[in-house]
Amino acid sequence: MKLPTEGQPADAVLARMDALAARDADWRGGRTFSLIYNAGDEVNRLIEEAARRFLHTNALSLAAFPSLRRFEAELLAISVDLLHGGAEAAGSLTSGGTESICMAVKTARDHAREARPEITRPQMVLPSTAHPAFHKAAHYFDVEPVVVPVGADYRVSPDAVAAAITDRTILVVGSAPCFPFGVIDPIADLAALASSRGILMHVDACLGGYLLPFLERLGEPIPAWDFRVPGVTSISADLHKYGFADKGASVVLYRTRQLRRKQFFAYVDWPGGLYASPSLMGSRGGAPIAVAWAVVQMLGERGFIELARRTMAATRTLTDGIRATPGLAILGAPPASVFAFTSPSLDVYALGEALEEKGWRLDRQQRPPSLHMMVSPAHEAVAGEFLADLGAAARSLEGRPPAMEGMAAMYGMLAVLPDRGAVGRVVLDFLDGFDQV
């Protein structure tokens, strides 16, 4: 496709965009259980208006846009306080969980270069359920990932982590909660283990960072996971998940400012002047920063608690209904609003397709084959309709054999693949074709 010789009127461009978006997931109607965290129309209107006001700003220069500097500083201070970071804690705002995780791994690597220079081939120990962003960071920053299997409860065992630690380990990772199954790793045990060996400990709370504190205030039995746990040295938490901000806004927090300094980059010999950046990005759109600040200010503690209450009410309706559906079972014991369900007797991938035909969108997972759900307050209004469609779809699949264990989570685009090497090649080929119209 070539650049058009003549431009089109704005109305025509927008009309074409609307037509292309017609098949997108219906997140406003609460019919998607991933990607979007919908707090309702009032919050969405604020998001759109705040984004419009700061759409053309650039946080590369906070001197040019002191409003963004104020927004960012206040978001970080609020996040540190929410996660009990104390007076010495500090952090950075990033574009999302992947960047936050990458920065935590880069910081651990650079910390080890200074504190343990004898390590030339650093390793980090992480559960098999840890987000793939850790593997991306390992690839980018030349840190070897040492993957530890999880137990029957889908949580990693501290004993297994201890056995995986070597004299080259620079970082131990735990999730609060993990994405695939919504369970919280034994953070206190992992942190104690890491601290006893002089190793940094990162908690990936990209999902839970702005939800678990409010569930705790509601009296939910949430295990210790934040900076109140001795030995936790960094935490990632996404404002654009249960902080209900727009994409992309996340924070990475450190127990000390000294540790955060290992994240920074500066170059002084460029003819264009001094160049320094706190995180991976150079230019940063101001809109996500402004939106995150606006949502936090609008909701306040009471607003977040109410959204957490509604989210958990919807979650309990859904999980109770799934458990009551013959042939379906929740995996593990997730304490919050992220979970997966499977079936020993039904093809769950076919079940996902049947639900898509009704307009519902659930992510597919593998090992074991399952359907994944992330519940938002907006799902409270549609939970009953979803369960009715789920029950009908499950009944229609009775007698059909379960999904194959080797079926990739990208079911519907990929066939059963014979080995991991072949999986990687097919996925790369698939991505390579993204630029083909």
Residue 44 neighbours by CB distance under 10 Å: 17
What are 3's two structure tokens? 């650049």
Angstrom distance (rounded) from CA 31 to CA 255: 39
Per-residue pLDDT tens for 207-240? 999 999 999 999 999 999 999 999 999 999 999 9
Asked if the model's pLDDT at residue 190 lies above 90, the reply is yes
- Cα torsion angle, 39, 43, 45, 49, sign: negative
pLDDT digits (tens, 9 = 90+) for 359-382: 999 999 999 999 999 999 999 999
Q: Which residue has the higher pLDDT, 2 or 206?
A: 206
User: Tokens 């194959």 identify what position?
Assistant: 404
Are 247 and 323 contained in the same domain? Answer: no
Q: Which of 271, 294, 317 is the last residue of a domain?
A: 294
Model confidence pLDDT, tens digit, residues 28-80: 888 889 888 998 899 999 999 999 999 998 888 888 889 999 999 999 999 99
| Predicted local confidence at residue 403, as pLDDT | 60
- Asked whether residue 15 is assigned to any structural domain, the reply reads no
User: What is the rounded distance in angstroms from the CA atom of residue 212 to the CA atom of residue 228?
Assistant: 14
The answer to whether residues 57 and 197 belong to one domain is yes
Domain final residue, candidates 279, 294, 309:
294
* Helix, strand and coil percent figures for the chain, each rounded to 5: 40, 15, 45
pLDDT at 126 over 90: yes
Identify whether 25 is part of a domain. no
pLDDT tens digits, one per residue of 113-123: 999 999 999 99
Tell which phi-psi region holds residue 237, choosing left (phi > 0), alpha (psi between -120 and 50) or beta: beta
Q: Domain containing 288 — which CATH number?
A: 3.40.640.10
User: What local confidence, expressed as pLDDT, does residue 170 receive?
Assistant: 98
CA angle 125, 128, 129 (to 5 degrees): 115
Angstrom CA distances, 276 to 62, 266, 273, 283, stand at 12, 4, 10, 11
Domain count, the chain: 2
pTM score, whole prediction: 0.89
Task: Average the pLDDT over 312-325 and give the result.
Answer: 97
Residue-number span of the structural domain to which 183 is assigned = 50-294
More confident residue, 422 or 432: 422
Residue 32 is assigned to a structural domain of this protein? no
Q: Is 121 left (phi over 0), alpha (psi -120 to 50) or beta?
A: beta
Determine the 3-state secondary structure of 235 from DSSP: strand
What is residue 266's three-state secondary structure? strand
Query: Residue 126 CB: number of other CB atoms within 10 A?
Result: 27
Residue 174: pLDDT above 50?
A: yes
pLDDT at res. 61: 82
110 and 256 assigned to the same domain: yes
Residues 162 and 180 in one domain: yes
| Domain-embedded: residue 18 | no
Cβ distance 138 to 188 under 8 Å?
A: no
* pLDDT confidence band for 400 (50 / 70 / 90): confident
What pLDDT digit, counting tens, does each position of 235-294 carry?
Answer: 999 999 999 998 989 999 999 999 999 999 888 898 988 888 888 888 888 999 999 999
Whether the per-residue pLDDT at 15 is higher than 50: the answer is: yes
Select from 374, 216, 283, 310 the least CA-distant residue to 61. Answer: 283
DSSP codes of every residue in 328-390:
-EE-S--SSSEEEEE-SSS-HHHHHHHHHHTT-B-EEETTTTEEEEE--GGGGGTHHHHHHHH
Same structural domain for residues 239 and 371?
A: no
Q: Exposed, middle or buried: residue 197 (CB in 10 Å: 0-12, 13-18, 19+)?
A: middle
Residue 433 pLDDT > 60: no
CATH code: domain of residue 342: 3.90.1150.10
Task: For residue 401, name the pLDDT band (cuts at 50, 70, 90).
Answer: confident
- Checking if the pLDDT of 427 tops 90, the result is no
pLDDT > 90 fraction of the chain, expressed in percent and rounded: 76
Which candidate, 346, 349, 344, places its Cα nearest to that of 416? 349
pLDDT of 3: 87
CB 216 within 8 A of CB 184: no
- pLDDT for position 405: 52
The CA-to-CA distance between both ends of the chain, in Å, stands at: 8
Does some domain include residue 236?
A: yes
Nearest Cα neighbor of 412 from 377, 361, 374, 336 is 361
Q: Residue 424: what pLDDT? A: 52
